[in-house]
Amino acid sequence: MIKYYLFLPITLLLILTLPLLLSLFPPHFLSPPPQQLPIPSTTELSDLSLFSRATSSATSSPSSTSSSFFRLGTHHNPTLKIAFLFLTNTPLHFSPLWTRFFNTTSSDRFTIYIHADPDTLVPDPGGFFANRFIKSFHTERSSATLISASRRLIAEAILDDPLNTFFALVSQSCVPIHSFDYVYDTVFNKTVANSKKPRFKSIIEILSNEITLPSRYVSRGENVMMPEVPYDKFRVGSQFFILNKKHALMVLKERKLWRKFKLPCLKIQSCYPEEHYFPTFLGMEDPGGCTGYTLTRVNWTGSVDGHPHLYNPPEVSAELIYKLRESNFSNDYLFARKFSPDCLEPLLDLADSVLFKD
């Protein structure tokens, strides 16, 4: 009996101190899930001002796809450009390879813009990339910040040069696997010289039958996307695309869907807004003006934590490049990812004999 009375206060003390111990040393299973922070209002206001200036500038100057730019056979016919939009949070390890790519053509056929996360050190690679960094804000995976960064790049490209006609989004781990001429001819569909009003399609993947769509749709909560984005309109596609100018301007003017897609996700493991916003919006507004597929090759075999296969130097060969080019569409793939930074040298060794030899 005496032992029982001695044990009772100790048990009571443990019960009373348990909440304090859990608050100081929470077990893993009780830890709250990681939370996304909303995009700061100051960043939103800065973006809105930029987008407004870009759309206004396009309205006040001739469009690069308007009839006034297509007096073919005369000295008034301009050279239309592809704007290459580099979205990165690491150094541009493959800039020497891209430099070789751009060196195969005239500098009046392309422009370059770089959005580098300000929280990381991304040195200026020089050459074609010198002073091509735009005003950038923080980005993080599986968040709407990547949508904002992509729109920012598009807006800066539109403001910078009215001849920018296509806008190609690429990452730091992405490399070209064809010559510039092949890319240019593919994007412009080789029809400009034979058409008074060329129909340029955006090259963007728009899929409606992926098995992950249901879980991704509710990643912000049940019915949160309604009524702006009903489930039957919800689409997915590669983050990397090539938009024509018409669609680029539409994206900058869009507000309704953005109010939904910018909301932080509750289920981050199912949240990839950068893969949904652009396909959903263009799938709703102009599906006929899009290819429905991407020309950036990625290998999802053995993906880990949502990341695709990362190619390493021993895998780089002519055979790999030829295989990466193969597609089920009317054109080869133009770009491929992801390559580790130490793939630079073996890729440079293949530049003239394979990569840029069509």
Provide the sign of the torsion angle of the four alpha carbons 157, 161, 162, 166, taken in this order.
Answer: negative
The single-letter code of the amino acid at 263 is L
Render pLDDT for 261-308 as a digit per residue (tens, 0 to 9).
999 998 888 889 999 999 999 999 999 999 999 999 999 887 777 788
Higher pLDDT, 16 or 247: 247
Spell 311-342 as b/e; 16+ CB within 10 A means b: beeeebeeebbeebbeeeeebbbbbbbbbeee
> Cβ distance 217 to 177 under 8 Å?
no
Q: Give the Cα-Cα-Cα angle 325, 186, 153 (nearest 5 degrees).
A: 95
DSSP reduced 3-state for 207: strand
Q: Kindly report which listed range (37-46, 189-198, 210-219) carries the lowest average pLDDT score.
A: 189-198
Predicted local distance difference test score (pLDDT) of residue 353: 96
> Cβ distance 309 to 303 under 8 Å?
yes
Predicted local distance difference test score (pLDDT) of residue 343: 98
C-alpha dihedral (322, 327, 330, 333), degrees to nearest 10: -60
The single-letter code of the amino acid at 32 is P
Render pLDDT for 94-117 as a digit per residue (tens, 0 to 9).
999 999 999 999 999 999 999 999
> Cβ distance 165 to 245 under 8 Å?
yes
- Write the burial class of residue 74 (CB in 10 Å: 0-12 exposed, 13-18 middle, 19+ buried): exposed
Strands of the 335-337 sheet, one edge to the other: 175-176, 335-337, 296-298
Mean pLDDT of the residues in the chain = 87
Distance, in Å, from the CA atom of 292 to the CA atom of 278, rounded to the nearest integer, reads 12
- Sequential DSSP letters for 66-102: SGGG--TTSTT----EEEEEEEESS--TTHHHHHHHH
Q: Which residues contact 247 (CB under 8 A, 6 or more apart)?
A: 202, 282, 286, 289, 290
> Cβ distance 185 to 198 under 8 Å?
no
Render pLDDT for 139-183 as a digit per residue (tens, 0 to 9).
998 899 999 999 999 999 999 999 999 999 999 999 999 999 999
Q: Kindly report which listed range (20-29, 194-203, 284-293, 300-309) carries the lowest average pLDDT score.
A: 20-29
Q: Is the pLDDT of residue 4 over 60?
A: no
Render pLDDT for 56-97 as a digit per residue (tens, 0 to 9).
999 876 655 544 444 444 446 789 999 999 999 999 999 999
Q: What is the largest CA-CA distance in the chain?
A: 109
Can you say how many angstroms the Cα of residue 87 is from the centroid of all Cα atoms in its chain? Answer: 7
Q: Which of the residue ranges 34-38, 77-81, 139-143, 349-353 has the most confident prediction, judged by mean pLDDT? A: 349-353
Predicted local distance difference test score (pLDDT) of residue 200: 85
Neighbours of 294 (CB within 10 A): 24
CA terminus-to-terminus distance, the chain: 92
pTM: 0.86
Cis peptide before 246 (omega within 30 of 0): no
Q: Which residues contact 238 (CB under 8 A, 6 or more apart)?
A: 204, 205, 275, 294, 296, 298
DSSP reduced 3-state for 307: strand
Give 317-325's long-range contacts (Cβ < 8 A, gap of 24+).
317/346, 317/350, 318/350, 318/353, 318/354, 321/177, 321/350, 321/354, 321/355, 322/354, 324/177, 324/297, 325/177, 325/178, 325/297
What is the average per-residue pLDDT within 232-246?
96
pLDDT band at 12 (very low <50, low <70, confident <90, very high): low
